[in-house]
Amino acid sequence: MESGDLDCALAGGNVCAVARRRGITAFVADGLIRDLAEVREVRSGCAAAGSRPTRATRSD
């Protein structure tokens, strides 16, 4: 995944849980993730540029 934005996270615990249920065992994020405790609990392999507690906002 790619966000290009280091002001907010592009993925978190919910994304990792859904990915795990769909059989995805790991992903690489060119951006930040959040919910580190949830990500670790799901045991989904994740490599990211860093972490941040702030979620992304929609710009519909």
Where is the binding site for substrate, in residues? 12-15, 34
Binding residues for Mg(2+), as ranges, are: 35
Residues forming beta bridges with residue 27, ordered by sequence position = 46
DSSP secondary structure code for residue 33 in this structure: E
DSSP tally for the chain: helices H, then strands E: 2, 3
DSSP secondary structure code for residue 11 in this structure: E
Binding residues, as ranges, are: 12-15, 34-35
